[in-house]
Amino acid sequence: MSSSILNTLSSEAEVNALDGARLIDLAKATLLEDLGSGVDVTSVATIPDGQVALANFVSRATGVVAGVNIAKIVIAMACEGEVEFIESLAEGAQLEPGTTVLSARGNSRGLLLAERSALNFLCHLSGIATLTQRWVLQVAGTGTRIRDTRKTTPGLRDLEKFAVRMGGGTNHRLSLSDAAMIKDNHVLASGGIGPAFEKIRKTFPDVPIEVEVDRIDQIPEALAAGADLILLDNMNIEECAKAVKFVAGKARLEASGGITLETARAYAETGVDYLAIGALTHSAPNLDIGLDLVVG
């Protein structure tokens, strides 16, 4: 069944580097979680076996959609592959109240089995994409990029970072092996920024290295070490502006900590390259999407 389910994926999944096999595993896990050790007792008791229905997943709010592909996999799996997708929006499409995100025709019991799992993915990921777009629009025209963090839901990082991209944001490292981040504890353990940087460069010569600083007077050591990127941790707007002037293009700069939607543009106008926003993934509210079932 896996190969036929993967055929339900739209091209956006491949373009955005989502692993179809992993999506199948996630879909299977969520459906098993909903079923427990039995069946959907309500649907089995009330819906005739073999009844066919049309399921319309409809946005109740304005936003950006993400999670269409995994929702389709959940539906196809719940319907045991016997489903026809009438229409589906592209990942990253704009939504208005009443917009149909996805329509599928199949067994009524299967569609209702899929309902909550599909909506959990759609609402959560669309919420992240929608919040990300708000941040992106807030800094539009400044040249500063909105970037996520590793403050993600355990087990869902790749999907949540995908949703950030759908909202126009950019991704920080996916895992600890993608790039080095020298934080205060690494500095403490190594005896300074310079020694920590040197040890990483010697052990992993090809990885990008970012250095976190929380004071302006730490920047010279980070620059001298050869940092590719310097993270300005919990610095205010004035301090960020000073850091940009001091660095003068010798390294990219990322502001992080204490930034709100209301202050985002002022931070961006200092000239930093990135705003690191953990809230994109750890505090995004669900986007309201619902299922309307039409029997027959």
List active site positions. Answer: 116, 151, 183, 212, 233
Q: Are 265 and 139 in contact (CB under 8 A)?
A: yes
CA distance 259 to 240: 12
Nearest alpha-carbon partner for 168 in 76, 92, 246: 92
What torsion do the CA atoms of 239, 143, 233, 230 make, to the nearest 10 degrees? -100
Token couple for 13: 């999944």
Which amino acid, one-letter code, is at 199?
Answer: K
Q: Are 146 and 135 in contact (CB under 8 A)?
A: yes
The greatest distance separating any two alpha carbons of the chain, rounded to the nearest whole angstrom, comes to 72
Cα separations (Å) of 217 from 28, 220, 246, 271? 52, 7, 10, 19
Q: Is the torsion defined by CA of 90, 27, 1, 21 positive or negative?
A: positive
Query: What Rg do the C-alpha atoms of the chain give, in angstroms?
Result: 23
DSSP string covering 179-212, please? SEEE-HHHHHHHTSHHHHHHHHHHHSTTS-EEEE
CA distance 110 to 50: 10
CA distance 111 to 291: 10
Residues for the chain: how many in total? Answer: 296
